[in-house]
Amino acid sequence: MAGFLGVFLFGPDRDPVKSDGPDAVSALALLDKLTDSPTRKAVEALQAASPGTYAQLQTEAALALKDGADADALSNLTLQALFGEFQNKALVFRSARSEDYHAIIVELSKGLQQLKALDSRWCEGDQIAAYLAQNESDLVPTLLAEFPYGSPQYDWAMDWMSVILITAQRAQDAPTRHPRPGFRDETTLQQEGLALGAEQWGLALQIAAFANSEGISYARMQEVVSGMDVCQLGIAVEAVSERLPADVRGRIWADLMPEIMIGNTPYVMWRVTDYFFIG
């Protein structure tokens, strides 16, 4: 979740009002209830990137409305559809453009900056550790409960998801092939990470503590994670990504982004540690 800007151009507008089919009716009903701009953008991005998931959301929304669903319930359905599409499109993210990868990270950083300004519990490592200890069936409802309809968190989540889905669509339509990251890429990333760490000692100490805990025990890693400022780390990721040459950034994120989307946390943490502490 931690987890994801700019102005993107959509293709020709799809106007469900002009269609007489049942899908158009249910889509109209959904967007009649959820009238905010962030939801509309996200639903349009879902329609373009995955017509099948979009149609399924329409059907579920129509059934929910028949049962008297309110805006909160419909927004929950929409969030679930968008979250689920991340995993469905995971492999597509191997073929995104470097600038689109960075756009995802920039939007994620915006959300984390807002949370840090509010001194949110989402910035507390022990809170994240507690979430990660849950099984998926408990974790997803917990996460969704943090984004109530109409809240700034909900609006940001919808904007972030729109960027992710637009990236997925672009990667499908015009894939960019990235080789696996090589030693030069890892060295460049490490140099930029160390340079940022030299500017932010607190950040450097957090990363070093995590790296040193690897392989000692799971309890020790949990202890280190509990002491982290997750928002500061996420914002730092955007800063490092910005500093990387475009080709290096593309290869690094082509490696990591699909694993992030499917929630392969062990691989991501192993690779991040490897990137920053090679040799």
Per-residue pLDDT of the chain (279 residues; tens, 9 = 90+): 333 322 222 223 333 333 344 444 444 578 888 989 999 999 999 999 899 999 999 999 989 988 888 898 899 889 888 888 888 888 999 999 999 999 999 999 998 888 888 888 778 877 776 766 666 666 667 767 778 888 888 899 899 999 999 999 999 999 999 999 988 998 898 888 777 766 666 666 666 666 666 556 656 666 666 667 878 888 888 888 899 999 999 999 999 999 888 877 777 777 776 676 544
Cβ contact 143:258 at 8 Å: no
Pair 163, 214 in one domain: no
Q: Do 169 and 94 belong to one domain?
A: yes
Pair 151, 222 in one domain: no
Return the structure tokens found at 207. 């990363």
Establish if 9 belongs to a structural domain: no
Residues 115 and 253 occupy one common structural domain? no
Decide if 228 is inside a domain.
Answer: yes
Q: Could you tell me if 20 and 157 lie in one domain?
A: yes
Query: Are 46 and 162 within one domain?
Result: yes
Measured between alpha carbons, how far is 100 from 4 in angstroms, rounded to an integer? 11
- Domain shared by 166 and 215, yes or no: no
Q: Return the closest-CA partner of residue 39 out of 146, 169, 141, 161.
A: 161
Do residues 108 and 2 make contact, with C-beta atoms less than 8 angstroms apart? yes
Q: 189 with 161, same domain?
A: no
- 159 and 40, same structural domain? yes
Residue 128 lies in a domain: no
Q: Determine contact, residues 237/203, Cβ cutoff 8 Å.
A: no
Q: Are residues 187 and 246 in the same domain?
A: yes
**Structural domain tally of the chain?**
2
Residues 40 and 79 in one domain: yes
Model pTM score:
0.78
Determine, yes or no, domain membership for 125: no
Range of the domain at 43: 16-119+137-173
User: Whole-angstrom Cα distance, residue 5 to residue 106?
Assistant: 7
Give yes or no: residues 247 and 169 share one domain: no
Tokens linked to 93? 């993210």
Would you list the DSSP string of 104-144?
A: HHHHHHHHHHHHHHTT-GGGBHHHHHHHHTS-HHHHHHHHH
Q: Which residues contact 269 (CB under 8 A, 6 or more apart)?
A: none
Taking each helix axis from N to C terminus, what angle separates 22-33 and 51-66, rounded to the nearest 10 degrees?
Answer: 70
